[in-house]
Amino acid sequence: MPANDEEKDQKLNKEYTAESITVLEGLEPVRKRPGMYIGNTATEGFHHLLKEIVDNSIDEAMAGHAKKVDIVVHPDNSVTVTDDGRGIPVDVHKQTKKSALETVLTVLHAGGKFGGDASGYKVSGGLHGVGAAVVNALSEYLIAEVRRDGKIYIQEYKRGKVMTRVKEAGKVPKSDTWQRGTRITYKADAEIFTVYEFDIKYILDHYRQQAYLTRGVHLNITDERNGFSYQYYFEGGLVAYIQHINRNKVVKSQPMYVAKTVDQVFVEVAVQYTDEFSENVLTFANNIHTPEGGMHLTGFRSALTRSLNNYGVKNGYIKEADKITGEDMREGLTAIISVKLPNPQFEGQTKAKLGNAEVRGYVEDVVGEGLEFWLEEHPSDAGKIMEKVLLAAKARMAARAARDAVIRKGVLEGLALPGKLADCSESDPGKSELYIVEGDSAGGSAKQGRDRRFQAILPLRGKILNVERARLDKMLGNNEIKNLVIAMGAGIGDQFDIEKMRYHRIIIMTDADVDGAHIRTLLLTLFYRHFPEIINRGYLYIAQPPLFRVASGKSFKYAFSDKERDQVIAEFAAGAKEKKNAKAAKKEAAEGFEVKEIADAAPEQSGEVVVKGVNIQRYKGLGEMNPEQLWETTMDPAFRVMLRVDVTDAERASKIFETLMGDEVAPRKSFIQTHAKTVKNLDI
């Protein structure tokens, strides 16, 4: 290592010592209430542990002290995270009387991100209310290795308890490419988690995003379970990110990029227009995704509206009195807004919204100045953008006329609800639910089988319009969509008000076949693109009707999958064994109840298959169930199974909807070819 690099490292190490570590509070009994710290003990919580450890390494990169982060998933689903940062200090912390390393790993809210001095972190994304201590507490074991000042230090833990003190394990070999930094190896505790297997796709998607947001960092991911390795490095940063998002779209302009630091707040924004009708804006604060936006989003929108209007008036696209609204500016807009600031103030436990008021002004000034300069320097792109927003303005006027027609119709008819809607008697939206049912036949069964007090039924006739490429005026020309909008009662577009929702559970109930899946996808596209707040509030559900009715004699059970059907058959077989001696029962089970006989069963007739000793009815559609069956299997709150629709990754969800429902055929064809072999129960 060159002498000047050694001197630099020594200086950094002297600045970043145990004095940099500030302790806010002791470690709470995390193992007793893990959900309080990581949300849940299922998939999200399991992956959140990794996120906490990697975020600490990315914080080192954001601070300019690390250039490389390695993530290795081992065959037993333990994981190792290594960075080439400064390395967690190992000297004794005067407040805790422990080493700084042990303090960080055993005391909640301990780290170099609270003190506020220059030796810690100016910006950080690792403060999610958890920290490395919670990862340690919820791990079967954790091993920390630190390399500082040419020496190797190691400490081991088990379920959060110290097994060894920090011990020096020798000098760093000069030939080793890893000279300094921190390496954490841990395995999530199977006693705590219901899921303990890493989803490599989730990891890749999340850390690809982090690599875009932290320009110049090398992020390497290795999955030893299958031997694959992945490397992310994006010198282009946000510009590369926005090009990745729009790679399958028709773009109207090249990306606009602006970056500037104002009063210790780094503002970085990339903007590009496409021919889409919806907007796609991603906001981040210290690399933390803020799905509900906040002050940085507000500042951006103000600057965008002002700059485009000023340019339009100046260059004759619009008149002073006819300035365009912000809604028109956002049609087809793709934007990434990233701010990095010393003391972020997030609203809510989920950190979904940035609340720092001063950030609004900083973003507005930086984007306004940068965008106005860019428009003047790129007149061809600016012209295409103005054409896009002017077309959006015309479409908005037509859409408003269509929407107002719907509203006027409601007023003239005394706010009449759709004639096909069988409403409930309950007036409290929190206790009411609306079933959107495929077809009049299933709608009739649902109306008869429901609990009229709190369950409303709205049958759909055929397939609704694909709204992925449709403006509001065309949408409201579709009777099924119009009926749904009126039934929900909250309006649509800029008039949408979530507080006016007539039901706080909207349940999509379709057949378990290809047509049913298509209708379900069309409805999900509608809600995702035009009613995202319904999803964010947790109001949207998907009903799970059973696929089979399995009967033996007078006994019967419902099964929701092939596996569950086979389990029910096995249960009936076990019941038969109790009536005979062991030898006879074994013979009967083998001859009459073997699951493999399903493949050799008589041809299906009217949805019913007969297996020796067992009758299996395969429901082709909801209409095949009588009202009592539909109630007891799919609508009775005491026994029904429903999936709540949740969007944890907006970018990934948007990409899926574009692939499945957009105009481009090639991406959809590729998706079908990739997943064709995994499709089960395909009805042709």
pLDDT tens-place string over residues 200-256 = 998 998 999 999 999 889 999 999 999 999 999 999 999 999 999 998 889 999 999
494 a catalytic residue: no
Instruction: Please compute the mean of the pLDDT values over residues 499-521 and round it to a whole number.
Output: 88
Is a pLDDT exceeding 70 seen at residue 413?
no
Asked if 623 and 441 count as a contact pair (C-beta separation under 8 A), the reply is: yes
- Minimum mean pLDDT range among 264-268, 399-403, 575-579: 575-579
Which residues are CB-contacts of 215 (< 8 A; sequence separation ≥ 6)?
234, 235, 236, 237, 238
What pLDDT, on the 0 to 100 scale, is given for residue 418? 80
3-state SS assignment for residue 83: strand
CA distance 47 to 231: 20
Instruction: Please compute the mean of the pLDDT values over residues 563-573 and round it to a whole number.
Output: 83
What's the pLDDT tens digit per position in 19-78? Answer: 665 544 445 578 888 888 888 899 989 999 999 999 999 989 988 899 999 999 999 999
DSSP-derived letter for residue 465 is P
What pLDDT, on the 0 to 100 scale, is given for residue 105? 92
Domains and CATH numbers, the chain: 3-232 (3.30.565.10), 238-396 (3.30.230.10), 417-545+644-678 (3.40.50.670), 548-618 (no CATH)
CA distance 484 to 454: 17
Catalytic residue among 44, 91, 140, 513: 513
Verdict on whether the full-model pTM lies above 0.85: no
CA distance 568 to 557: 7
Selection from 165-174, 457-466, 622-631 with the highest mean pLDDT: 165-174
Say how many C-beta atoms besides its own lie within 10 A of residue 666's C-beta.
9
Angle between helices 562-577 and 582-592 (to 10 degrees): 150
- H or E element in which residue 259 lies: strand 256-262
513 a catalytic residue: yes
Which of 317, 486, 510, 474 has the alpha carbon at shortest distance from 401?
474
Asked if 274 and 252 count as a contact pair (C-beta separation under 8 A), the reply is: yes
CA distance 330 to 241: 19
Catalytic residue among 70, 364, 426, 511: 511
Which residue matches tokens 């399995």?
Answer: 550
What's the pLDDT tens digit per position in 264-288? Answer: 999 999 999 998 888 899 999 998 8
Catalytic residue among 70, 84, 328, 438: 438
Instruction: Please compute the mean of the pLDDT values over residues 299-314 and round it to a whole number.
Output: 95
CA distance 73 to 81: 9
Q: Report CA-CA distances (Å) from 327 to 397, 467, 495, 524.
A: 12, 18, 12, 23
Catalytic residue among 515, 571, 651, 663: 515
Asked if 61 and 237 count as a contact pair (C-beta separation under 8 A), the reply is: no
pLDDT band with cut points at 50, 70 and 90 for residue 543: very high
Asked if 25 and 203 count as a contact pair (C-beta separation under 8 A), the reply is: no
Which residues are CB-contacts of 405 (< 8 A; sequence separation ≥ 6)?
476
What pLDDT, on the 0 to 100 scale, is given for residue 595? 43
3-state SS assignment for residue 595: helix
Instruction: Please compute the mean of the pLDDT values over residues 74-94 and round it to a whole number.
Output: 94
What pLDDT, on the 0 to 100 scale, is given for residue 316? 93
CA quadruple 602, 603, 604, 606: dihedral, nearest 10: -100
What pLDDT, on the 0 to 100 scale, is given for residue 516? 82
DSSP-H helix ranges across 277-378: 295-314, 326-329, 357-377
Structure tokens at 67: 């250039």
3-state SS assignment for residue 3: helix
Q: What b/e string do you get for 304-319 counting C-beta neighbours within 10 Å, with b at 16 or more?
A: bbbbbbebbbeeebbe
Instruction: Please compute the mean of the pLDDT values over residues 508-518 and round it to a whole number.
Output: 83
